[in-house]
Amino acid sequence: MSDLTAVQLEELTACLDSQYHDIRNAVRTEFEDTGEQHRIDLLNREPGDSGDQSLASALADFNVARFDRYIQALRDVEAARQRMESGEYGTCTDCGLPIAFARLRVAPTAKRCIECQQKYEREYAQAGQPSL
């Protein structure tokens, strides 16, 4: 269970919202450069409830390698929001201990405490997958 206070959760929610909007703006710029107006319209929608198609899923069908980093970043934000809704946010998915607030301020989408993240990176470094 997380040790985060309501004030801390509010701050982290604002961080996630800001991160989400920054990613949307970067994607919008990319689409404007390619003339993808129907995708720009999708970006102009405000995020709905969890039942709506996620922006990451909508981008995934636009199979262009340069969007991969945006897709993963959006999925990370969406997953963090889901963990907030379920009350699991701020709890390490590996060991179940609280993730330090200082870590979440730097990486609000973090799903592991620093110790478990370091262990994960050592174990999976050969896979070549980015992690947080």
Overall number of domains in the chain: 1
Can you tell me which residue has the tokens 């919008």? 28
- In terms of C-beta density within 10 A (0-12 exposed, 13-18 middle, 19 or more buried), how is residue 103 classed? middle
Beta-carbon contacts of 13 under 8 Å, excluding residues fewer than 6 positions away, are 84
pLDDT tens for 4-24 read 999 999 999 999 999 999 998
pLDDT, residue 39, reads: 57
Residue 78 counted as domain residue:
yes
Residue 69 counted as domain residue:
yes
The whole-number mean pLDDT for each consecutive block of 10 residues of the chain, a chain of 132 residues, reads 88 96 87 64 56 58 69 93 95 96 97 96 73 56
Residue 18 counted as domain residue:
yes
What CATH number is attached to the domain comprising 17? 1.20.120.910
pLDDT, residue 51, reads: 45
